[in-house]
Amino acid sequence: MTWVSLSKINQPSNFTQRHGGKAEGILTFLWSKTTILAQIAFAIPAMHQMFLIAYDNCYASSLSNLPDLFTIALSHWRQQRGNEMPPIAWQTLSTDGGAVRSASGLNIHPDGGLQAMHDQAIVVIPAMNYPGDRPFKAFLASHAPLLDWLREAHAQGATLCAHCTSSFILAETGLLNGRRATTSWWMTDKLRRDYPEIEVLTDAMLVEEPGIITAGAINAEKYMGLRLIERFMGMDIAKLSAATLLLDNQALDQTVYLREEKGDNHHDPAVVKVKVMLERRLSDDIALESLAADLGMSYRTLIRRFKRATNDTPLHYLQRLRINAAKRLLENSNMPIESLMQEVGYQDLSSFSKLFQRETGLTPSSYRRQARARS
């Protein structure tokens, strides 16, 4: 039996000393009291251990979301199972075990430093506020010890969990190469551009790969938590926890938050023509070689110019256009899926379904059910 000691209680923050005022003091007191109650309550034996990795400028909520969610789940667990051993407990770690300061100025005192992992461990990497391209790259470059530790933890069998900007931390380890992943919807193009070896799913709220889970924008971490609760405590506890927090535990799609296609920010008139032709002939059987010839260039030249201008290929751009059109039809019509796929240029149901699921993380039928549930 493995015991997880969470008896270390956070020291009072110097937040009040820095900022002064009664309101800040009350906030610091409440934060400390919440930590005390959570840590005393869960100094218990656990089959699974969750380790939250704190670092300077991470979001405090990104550290506290999952412990809060699991606290609620364990309340439902005790109501159903009585004194049966809970399946999970957690600790907060930092690189050297020292205090870190969150993006909002809260001082966080971890339970310890980085340590060896095992195949029952879940490692959660919190997100951070995106500071711009250069500072973000400098941050990643300065955290080599953490990256090495994450690689070793994964090799030891731990499940690594990231979301929003922390998907980039995981990407920097190389562990996502050749795998599917997601991040916040507005950063998917950057993830795809910076790490071309990763298959980035723009629409997916949650992507699971062996030993790795990535999620979308900051609050998508809660859906990642629901999936972990489902895995360790069962579907019933996950549903009860979701209902307690008014979370839709089927909301696994970021599509509702996506903006329309961004305007062209390049100056290649041939690429603009290609995009217009693809958009107008969405349901046609388009031969990209013939399209290139119509524009007076080779197919390879078309690919190269399109990729340089859009960071995408003409084929994948066409697929995304068709999948987006299919999503609108699924949301707003009762058209049978077989007819719908032909409307957007596909003839084979199996191929269409696989492509739709690869792009969105859902089957067409599941997407339609979720869209109707939201309306």
Structural domains of the chain, with CATH = 15-257 (3.40.50.880), 269-374 (1.10.10.60)
Residue 131: predicted pLDDT: 86
Q: Are 117 and 152 in contact (CB under 8 A)?
A: yes
Q: In the 8-state DSSP scheme, what is residue 253?
A: B
Confidence check: pLDDT of 171 > 90: yes
68 class by beta-carbon count within 10 Å (0-12 exposed, 13-18 middle, 19+ buried): middle
Instruction: Tell me the whole-structure pTM to 2 decimals.
Output: 0.63
Render pLDDT for 35-44 as a digit per residue (tens, 0 to 9): 333 333 333 3
Q: Which residues are within 8 A (CB) of 193 and not within 5 positions of it... i.e. 6 or more apart?
A: 311
pLDDT bracket for residue 310 (50, 70, 90): confident
268 Rama class: left (phi>0) / alpha (psi -120 to 50) / beta: beta
Q: Which of 63, 53, 60 is nearest to 106 (CA)?
A: 60
Residue 158 reports pLDDT greater than 70: yes
pLDDT band at 201 (very low <50, low <70, confident <90, very high): confident
DSSP reduced 3-state for 217: coil
Separation of alpha carbons 205 and 254, rounded Å: 5
| CA angle centred on 43, ends 38 and 45, rounded to 5° | 130
How much is the mean pLDDT over the chain? 81
For residues 302 and 139, give the distance between their C-alpha atoms in angstroms, rounded to a whole number. Answer: 36
End-to-end CA distance of the chain: 48
pLDDT band at 90 (very low <50, low <70, confident <90, very high): very high
More confident residue, 107 or 294: 107
Distance CA 73, CA 90 (A): 13
Q: How confident is the model at residue 26 (pLDDT cuts 50, 70, 90)?
A: very low
Please state, in angstroms and rounded to a whole number, the distance separating the CA atoms of residues 206 and 167. Answer: 12
Question: What's the pLDDT band for 32 if we cut at 50, 70, 90?
Answer: very low
pLDDT tens figures, 49-77? 999 999 999 999 999 999 999 999 999 99
Helix axes 349-360, 314-332, angle to 10 degrees: 90
Task: Check residue 331 and give its pLDDT.
Answer: 82
For residue 232, give Cα distances in angstroms to 88, 161, 237, 284, 285. Answer: 8, 15, 9, 47, 47
For the stretch 249-302, pLDDT in tens is 555 455 444 444 444 555 688 888 888 888 878 778 888 888 888 888 998 998
Lookup result for tokens 């922390």: 166
Q: What is the pLDDT of residue 266?
A: 55
DSSP for 280-317, written as a single string: HTTTS---HHHHHHHTTS-HHHHHHHHHHHHSS-HHHH
